[in-house]
């Protein structure tokens, strides 16, 4: 049975894509959160269509039984002054604190290619210099202190097309930062896309993991991204990501590790797709049912692996 300290949320990026706003541009904020609740979820991350006033947003969410799990924050610690990132972070932190969130999702976007339409994501990811690694670690620890001032934690989101994508890079970031100040977000989809073993990463860093994203990979689309040297956004548009249970990842052993680790917090379904091709509500229901079945009546589902 699922721990009472683990809660299921879903991200709005399946309804409207923040990086490709034309995907789902017709879907309204109220449709999005209503369908999240109807599918069974009790939490949401925050998208660009969400009201920015905490009182207004709380009213919309509370009557649907939803809470804010977290929201993405883009950092530029490697390419801009720390002060610029700090000022924006404080505003973001205070909004999430007002919404009752406990964690703040942060990701370094200096040199990132994730938003570029034509740069091949699998071969041209940025590589940080030693100086940039030092700036990143220093800045993260200061942001961690700022989060602690509100009783919150920062969770670092390793991400395709950025300087912290691979298992080796995650290891380096964790080694360079104070475990009391910098926590980790564990994202199944980005690890599989990058060719990493999610279970190995989870086992190594489970003491630092404070937030989880569940998403799956369609192997056939991944192979197109690889063989045709496609960008991250092209892969998203073509459906490289999907919800748990619909792609190549076997989530059962991942769930077993999570359960045995005494993890507490949110598991967030996040699978950015073109909603014209993958109806967001239909896929939300699919994901919720799959996760519930896995948690309560688990069965091993054999999947293909990237090779």
Say how far apart CA 142 and CA 140 lie, in whole Å.
5
Going from the C-alpha of 122 to that of each of 113, 141, 188, 202, 210, the distances in angstroms are 10, 29, 17, 22, 27
Q: What is the pLDDT of residue 1?
A: 40
- What pTM value is reported for the model? 0.95
Average pLDDT over residues 230-238: 95
- 69, 41 in Cβ contact below 8 A? no
Among the ranges given (17-21, 112-116, 124-128), the one the predictor scored with the smallest mean pLDDT: 17-21
Q: What is the pLDDT of residue 203?
A: 98
Q: What is the pLDDT of residue 19?
A: 75
pLDDT band of residue 144 (cuts 50, 70, 90) is very high
Across all residues in the chain, what is the average pLDDT? 94
Instruction: Kindly state the tokens that stand for 272.
Output: 């950015």
Going from the C-alpha of 53 to that of each of 2, 58, 91, 177, 270, the distances in angstroms are 33, 9, 12, 33, 24
Domain 6-296 has CATH 3.20.20.150: yes
Q: What is the pLDDT of residue 301?
A: 55
Number of H helices, E strands in the chain: 11, 11
pLDDT in tens, 45-96: 999 999 999 999 999 999 999 999 999 999 999 999 999 999 999 999 999 9
* Percent composition of the chain: helix, strand, coil (DSSP 3-state, to 5): 40, 15, 45
pLDDT in tens, 117-142: 999 999 999 999 999 999 999 999 99
Q: What is the pLDDT of residue 235?
A: 96
Average pLDDT over residues 200-209: 98
Task: Report the percent of the chain where pLDDT is more than 90.
Answer: 88
**Ranges of each domain in the chain:** 6-296
Instruction: Note the Cα 141 to chain centre separation in Å.
Output: 20
Q: What is the pLDDT of residue 66?
A: 98
> Shortest CA distance to 44 belongs to which of 108, 3, 96?
96
């Amino acid at each position: 049975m699922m721990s009472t300290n683990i809660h299921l949320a879903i991200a709005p990026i399946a309804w409207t894509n923040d990086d490709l706003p034309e995907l789902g541009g017709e879907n309204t904020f109220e449709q999005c959160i209503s369908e999240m609740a109807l599918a069974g979820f009790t939490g949401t991350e925050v998208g660009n269509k969400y009201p920015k006033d905490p009182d207004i947003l709380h009213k919309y969410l509370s009557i649907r039984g939803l809470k804010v799990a977290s929201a993405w924050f883009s950092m530029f610690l490697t390419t801009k002054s720390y002060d610029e990132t700090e000022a924006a972070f404080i505003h973001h932190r205070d909004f999430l604190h007002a919404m009752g969130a406990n964690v703040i999702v942060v990701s370094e976007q200096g040199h990132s290619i994730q938003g570029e339409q034509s740069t091949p994501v699998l071969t041209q990811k940025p590589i940080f210099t030693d100086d940039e690694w030092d700036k990143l670690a220093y800045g993260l620890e200061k942001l961690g202190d700022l989060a602690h001032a509100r009783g919150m934690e920062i969770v670092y989101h390793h991400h395709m097309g950025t300087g912290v994508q691979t298992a080796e890079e995650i290891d380096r970031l964790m080694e360079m930062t104070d475990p009391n100040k910098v926590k980790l977000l564990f994202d199944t989809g980005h690890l599989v896309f990058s060719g990493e073993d999610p279970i190995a990463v989870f086992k190594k860093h489970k003491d630092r993991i404070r937030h989880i994203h569940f998403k799956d990979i369609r192997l056939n689309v991944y192979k197109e991204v690889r063989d045709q040297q496609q960008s991250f956004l092209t892969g998203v548009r073509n459906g490289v990501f999907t919800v748990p249970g619909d792609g190549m990842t076997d989530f059962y052993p991942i769930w077993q590790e999570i359960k045995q680790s005494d993890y507490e917090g949110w598991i967030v379904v996040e699978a950015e797709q073109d909603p014209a091709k993958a109806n967001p509500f239909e896929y939300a229901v699919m994901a919720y049912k799959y996760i519930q079945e896995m948690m309560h009546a688990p069965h091993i589902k054999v999947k293909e692996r990237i090779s």
